[in-house]
Amino acid sequence: MTVNLLDFDLPAMEAWFASIGEKPFRARQVMRWVHRAGVTGIGQMTDLSRGLRESLEAAAQILPPAVKLDSVAPDGTRKWLLDVGAGNGIETVFIPEAARGTLCISSQVGCALECAFCSTGRQGFSRNLSVGEIIGQLWLANRALGADHAVGHRPVTNVVMMGMGEPLANFDAVVSAMRIMLDDHTYGMSRRRVTLSTSGMVPWMDRLRDALPVSLAVSLHAPNDELRDRLVPINRKWPLKELLAACRRYVEVASAAPDDDDAGAEPESPPRHVKWQRQGAPRDFITFEYVMLRGVNDTAVHAHQLVGLVGDLSCKFNLIPFNPFPDAGFERSTPEAILRFQGVLMEAGFVTTVRKTRGQEIDGACGQLAGQVQDRTRRAQRREQVVVRS
């Protein structure tokens, strides 16, 4: 049975090469070909001997998800629907801006958390994605966008784990995929440019801090437990007091050390450092995401409660105008309400931004990703039964 080379971070690739009797530096060569050069076949790895290429072709392949649909919005936002088998599809979104390009990556087929305002949660849940299916989204985007590392052309400068699914619920695969993103033999991204968004899986936030502290965003969406229990049901398991304590633990070891690189190391030499083993988070603040729902969580009273909730925690707020989807049951806050809410937070001294809605015409905006989910939770079926009975 052949292996998928996209499934391996560097330690796993080295272990696999050792298992077939090859030296570890071969793993670094292959990682560079697969991710930096973006080759589609082992035959293109020209600095490997013919014999090694032939043996690898019999044992391994490069197998990203297949593209089912490629959509581009008028603002340049691009969304791919990717086939991950058994009738399931995931969505990946690229958001171009003047100074950067951000790729929003999915970690699961669907989502089991069922946040009230999220289209993905409405679809139910099928399974976790593999390492290859996660990093394959970046691999595909680079090829589609014409990345050329040889001349420094990198359309994707930032990655946000904010697509379909809860990343921390697929911890091991997500961490391995992010290790590949950071590896200087592959994409060489800074930990500041890789952001993981969580709804608040507290024990796994601590694990992430210890294993691979990237930039952290927390989907807050409510200033009190009563409201958050309704909007973000996982709050019933890890309420706000526990969530905020985990946020403090995440930033208390923050380090401003820059991410240098090991460019120039010989293939046989070990890298001078490993980025993900450094102590400390890459930023000394948490980003709180807050979707603005009309008449639900968007009043000045809510804003003042939010100020009291976070206290002196080092954080910034990103207010997200709600992006509608069929039968959502919520409406977007008015521009006036959003500005009033932002004003309260800024007057209290917090950096507060309002996210610009991008890709709404192709259902690529925040909260709109749905994909194609063969729901093992039967959530959609139960919802339909409730509607019929009512």
Tokens of 266: 């010989």
CA distance 252 to 168: 20
Q: From the candidates 14, 91, 166, 289, which is the catalytic residue?
A: 91
Q: Is 366 a catalytic residue?
A: yes
Dihedral sign (CA 239, 159, 163, 274): negative
What's the rounded Cα separation, in Å, for the pair 94 and 75?
11
Q: Strand (E) positions, the chain? A: 3-4, 60-61, 66-72, 78-83, 89-96, 101-104, 108-110, 125-128, 158-161, 194-198, 215-219, 286-292, 315-321, 352-354
Name the DSSP letter for residue 230: H
Q: Rounded to an integer, what distance in angstroms lies between the CA atom of residue 196 and that of residue 216?
A: 5
CB of 366 within 8 A of CB of 331?
Answer: no
Which position has the token pair 């309704």?
230
Residues 289, 292, 297, 303: what is their CA dihedral angle, to the nearest 10 degrees?
A: 60
DSSP state of 132: H
Do 373 and 88 meet the contact criterion of CB atoms below 8 Å apart? yes
Helix (H) or strand (E) holding 388: helix 379-389
Residue 91 annotated among the catalytic residues of the structure: yes
Alpha helices in 186-266 (DSSP H): 202-211, 225-231, 240-251
Count of other CB atoms within 10 angstroms of residue 150: 8
Which is nearest to 141 in space by CA: 92, 185, 181?
A: 92
Whether residue 71 contacts residue 362, with contact meaning beta carbons closer than 8 Å, is answered with: yes
Distance in Å from the first CA to the final CA of the chain: 51
Is residue 197 a contact partner of residue 369, using CB atoms and an 8 Å limit? no
Given the residues 104, 115, 118, 366, the one annotated as active site: 366
Residues with a known catalytic role? 91, 366
